[in-house]
Chain A
Amino acid sequence: MTAIGKPLVRRDGARKVTGTATYAYETPLDAPLFCHPVQATVARGRITAIHTADAEMLDGVLDVITYRTAERLASTEDAELAALQDREVAFRGQLVGLVLAESSESARHGAELVTVDYHEHAHDTELSADRDDLYRPEKVNPSFPTDTGTGDVDAAMAATDVTVEQTYRTAMYHNNPMEPHATTAWWDNDSLTLWDSTQGVHPSRTTVAKVFGLPEERVRVVCPFVGGGFGSKGLPHVNVVAAAMAARAHPGRPVKLALTRQQMFSLAGYRTPTIQKMRLGADSDGRLAAISLDVVEQTSRIKEFAEQTALPARMMYAAPNRRTTHRLAALDVPVPSWMRAPGECPGMFGPEVAMDELACELGIDPIELRVRNEPETDPDSGNPFSSRHLVECLREGARRFGWAGRDPRPGVRLEDGWLVGTGVAASVYPARTNPGSTANVRFDGGRYVVEIGAADLGTGAWTVLPQIAADALGVPVEEVDVRIGDTDYPKATVAGGSTGTATWGSAIVEAARTFRDKFGRDPGDGDEADATTGENPASERYAMYAFGAQFTEARVHADTGEIRVPRLLGVFAAGRIINPRTARSQFLGGMTMGLSMALHEDSVWDPRFGQVVNHDLAEYHVSVNADVDDVQAHWLDEQDDQVNPLGSKGIGEIGIVGTAASVVNAVFHATGARIRDLPVTLDKVLPFLP
């Protein structure tokens, strides 16, 4: 009778495909006002005048809010959220005004008519590894040590048989979910309700309450559906504050604010570009003596976000001498933030391409090289792994992909005008739960109702949480209702870091056990129990990670250098899989996004202006259907009893990790062109073609 492991269809699927699921901007409310942002057109400066009269005279425009008229916020500690508090412009695209109108068209037109004069300051927006002002952040996201080291990397490098010393670069990337960042805000007396597209209603509430100086119980955040987020909706950005501020200025009128696609390139976070100086030293058998990764990346001058890029290099492979560092440049740029697998995703690009380069140098199969460097315990913490099945993923992937008999020579297989190659890379992502999520289980009219303020950002929480609850209660899943996406339900942590299902599911399991302990198998109407997750004590004793192996077939056109990937195959060891249907979608989505990162995505920065110039989906390319042919995700039958009561590991992010390295390694195998900066595009391989 177990529901876990069944490929149940999404409970919210019918509503989504028939268009009846309401998203934040669509919340039906009477007489809403529409809000359109005005953005700074200088990269750094001070506002000397704002001309709002033309906008204010437009039919339908009610108000133009600027730093002169905006309410003073209770907290401006988070400078990203300190909307319209002063005249300073810290980056191009920053919010400098809000136009409120009776229609979205009028608001947008009004925003076009607002002109701003600036005293412009010189700006500095170019990341490089040779800057003399790089600094060492106190910690990296969210609270890891900035630098680590054991042994003597330089001495070990000097003593090894084979070394790889290369610099790898990843591009700036923007999250670009289908649904833009959107909010409907409404004040009723002194209480604020936000229908917000967010990955966490409670974390959003906490932040907004602080910014406005409100007790949390006076803020309600509602979010039944999210059209994607990839991390950009994990933390509230300034659009949420702007919507709430605009609504407070017009009591009784709800305010709708949706960022345009272009606006999201400066106001909704992004993945920092990274420069990764990578060093590997190994003996002639391929055993690593030294691993070193020095990362340079950027943050905004007004708010630090230090991406934890070197983390996977700390724990992935055994080597007695190790070193990792992070250095930041604080620039006049928008604020970087979370994007699918922050840290691990870019942080496995350099190391996994370097491993391929090392394998080539040594003449060892890249899978074999990785197997030879399996650590017995976590090289970073020294703890045993709660489960680590990387080798099995590599072996199973090799079998399914058809790796055996691979001719390692690059650039020698020409089929119908295309050079063909294959590549492999490993993936890793932490298996974490977040403390502080509460679930409530109630028996109500013959059904079990589970309430928790979880968010479903399109990943399947509406479907998998009932499966977890049903098994924990020992009832058919059809008898369980789950209510999520509202701060009126018990507090839940963010859908981020691949922690959602494991965290909320753990709370549900505990609540169900408590419920059964109290009320037995024959509860009465209204009986209820709740439970709150704490720290997992095992996380002190074990290193907990999910692992995977990514395989790619790449084809590079011998005449034009066009790169196409007809096959991607991933095998994952990610604990117990709750719902194979939604899990497969997560893995495939992550792998597709990794392919997109490898070949297509690139936020092109123009340092003269201090902005991304290809800021729409016609010019910022993501992989589309025609680019994704045969993508397969498989998983091992793994259950890990240390990670949480479900034995499951998060799966939202591991699919993207390693994919880009695997693609680049396949392109090398196809052509002999070793591309070390992403994306790999045809102009980069062209000089290497016959």
Chain B
Amino acid sequence: MKPFAYDSPADAATAVRTVAGDPSAMYLGGGTNLVDHLKLGVARPGRIVDVTHLTSTEIVERDGGLSIGAGVRNSELAADPRVRSRYPVLASALLAGASGQLRNMATTGGNPLQRTRCVYFQDVTTACNKREPGSGCSAIGGYTRYHAILGASSECVATHPSDMAVALAALDASVRVLGPDGERTIPFTELHRLPGDSPEKDTVLEHGDLITAIDLPAPPGDRQRYRKVRDRASYAFALVSVAAVLSVDDGRIRDARLAFGGVAHKPWRAWQAEDTLRDAHVSEDVFRAAAEAELAQAEPLPGNEFKVPLLTRTLVAVLRELS
């Protein structure tokens, strides 16, 4: 592990100025991902700026929804009665993630910024465009069980590992960011990037940008479900996951918001599936059509072809349960 300077500034603005002014600086939230990367040599910051005490650790009512401070721990967020009753898709996504010990450390601001678990990204002895731009992608032609079927590029086929982020994408959340030029808000679905030819950039955030809160609008539907499919019963990343929020009225789907995990470089908002469902009558056929509409663009890799039927089956099952 490379030695680094450790800063614990007094306020968020100072933290942002410090990181923005030092290309080698990184923020430290719960550390559940960064500390691993320090040990593996994947992250080699010259300075670590601890922000756990700089952003809010409160969940407050705001515009009919909730505003979640970036310092709120995943376990607290999952246990919050308002989250559990009004946003159960988020609560269950949080509880499906990691382990109890990790959820006690992980933060609202940090969780969406965790990096891919691609085994080649995590091994500095193998090439990875995300870790070392231009070095190549070892996953292509290699172990792809956890890799993308949607939106990948020839540069990178990694997936985003967060469960929480999938629920946030389905809930139309937004992210409040403090940057060197002040505060701005980004729709959650626009926070993460597809890899394209610069897979080293996971998000649209600039160096120095600090997530200070995540805002949830009023609950968009009363029928919510997060379904995570994985090999073992706990403590495993999703092979595929589905976050679904549905409004059904008299056998007809009024609104559907769907996001997928484990299949793309970002939490995948399934706009086309939603379009297929909106105003349609509830039926197994329409569910399947929705899955097919979204997955028409799927490009599985040798070794993860199973994700296409798996995601189709999972989505159909979730919609069946919710409607």
Query: Interface of A with B (CB < 8 Å)?
Result: 41, 105, 108-109, 112, 262, 417, 559-564, 599-600, 604, 606, 608-609, 613-616, 618-619, 621, 623-627, 681-683, 686, 689
Q: Which of A41, A112, A608 contacts B41 (CB 8 A)?
A: A112
Chain B residues near A686 (CB-CB < 8 A)? 306, 309-310, 313
The interface residues of chain A lying within 8 Å CB-to-CB of B2 are 109, 112
Cross-interface CB contact of B306 among A559, A618, A683, cutoff 8 Å: A683
Q: How far is the CA of A241 from the CA of B1 in the complex (A)?
A: 25
**B234 in the interface (beta carbon within 8 A):** yes
Contact B123 A559, beta carbon cutoff 8 Å: no
- CB distance A560 to B313 under 8 Å? yes
- Whose C-beta in chain A lies nearest to the C-beta of B142? A606
Q: A560-B313, A613-B120, A682-B239 are in contact. Are A621 and B3 (CB under 8 A)?
A: no
Chain B residue with Cβ nearest A613: B119
Contact B306 A109 (CB under 8 A): no
Q: CB-CB < 8 A to A561: which residues of B? A: 310
Is A626 a contact of B3 with CB atoms below 8 Å? no
User: Which residues of A have CB within 8 Å of B230?
Assistant: 562
Which residues of chain B in 221-258 are interfacial with respect to chain A, using CB atoms and an 8 Å cutoff?
A: 229-237, 239
| Chain B min CB distance to A660 (Å) | 15
> When A560-B229, A626-B233, A686-B306 are in contact, do A614 and B313 touch as well, CB less than 8 Å?
no
The reply on B141 being an interface residue by CB < 8 A is yes
Establish whether residues B232 and A108, one from each chain, have CB atoms under 8 Å apart when the complex forms.
no
- A562–B234 contact, CB under 8 A? no
Q: How far is the CA of A614 from the CA of B41 in the complex (A)?
A: 17
Mind listing 20 A-B residue pairs with CB under 8 Å?
A41-B125, A105-B1, A112-B41, A262-B40, A262-B123, A560-B317, A562-B229, A564-B233, A599-B232, A608-B142, A613-B120, A613-B142, A615-B123, A619-B117, A621-B236, A624-B233, A624-B235, A627-B234, A682-B310, A686-B310
B153 is an interface residue with CB less than 8 A from chain A: no
Q: For the complex, what is the distance from the CA of A623 to the CA of B316, rounded to whole Å?
A: 29
Q: Given the known A-B contacts A608-B142, A613-B123, are A624 and B234 also in contact in the complex, defined by CB atoms under 8 Å?
A: yes
Given contacts A600-B231, A683-B310, 17 further A-B contacts (CB under 8 A): A109-B2, A262-B40, A559-B317, A560-B229, A560-B314, A599-B231, A604-B145, A606-B142, A606-B143, A608-B138, A608-B142, A615-B119, A624-B235, A626-B234, A627-B232, A682-B239, A686-B306
Chain B residues near A614 (CB, 8 Å)? 119, 143
Give, as a whole number of angstroms, the nearest-CB distance from A400 to chain B. Answer: 24
Closest chain A residue, CB of each to CB of B312: A559
CB distance from A397 to the nearest CB of B (A): 25
Nearest residue, chain B, Cβ from A559: B317
- Using known A-B contacts A112-B41, A560-B310, A619-B117, determine if residue A609 contacts B126 with beta carbons closer than 8 Å: yes
Q: How many residues of B contact A (CB 8 A)?
A: 35
- Which residue among A262, A559, A608, A682 has the maximum number of chain B CB atoms within 10 Å of its CB? A559
CB neighbours of A623 from chain B (8 A): 232
> Counting chain B CB atoms within 10 Å of each CB, which of A417, A564, A604 scores highest?
A604
Identify the 3 closest CB pairs spanning chains A and B, nearest first: A683-B306, A626-B233, A626-B234
Q: CA of A635 to CA of B230 in the docked complex: distance in angstroms?
A: 34
Contacts of A624 in B (CB 8 A): 232-235
Chain A residues whose C-beta falls within 8 Å of the C-beta of B235 in the assembled complex: 624, 626
Residues in B295-315 with C-beta less than 8 Å from chain A: 306, 309-310, 313-314
Closest to A112 in B: B41
What are the residues of chain A within 8 A of B41 when measuring CB–CB?
112
Q: Which residues of B contact A560 (CB under 8 A)?
A: 229, 310, 313-314, 317
Give bound CA distance, A615 to B316, whole Å.
Answer: 34
CA distance A560 to B145 in the complex (A): 15
Contact flag A604-B143 (CB < 8 Å), given A560-B313, A619-B119: yes
Using A108-B1, A559-B317 as known contacts, say yes or no to A682 and B231 having CB atoms under 8 A apart.
yes
Is A621 in contact with B229, judged by CB distance below 8 angstroms? no
Closest chain A residue to B234 by CB distance?
A: A626
Query: How far does the Cβ of A412 sit from chain B's closest Cβ, in whole Å?
Result: 20
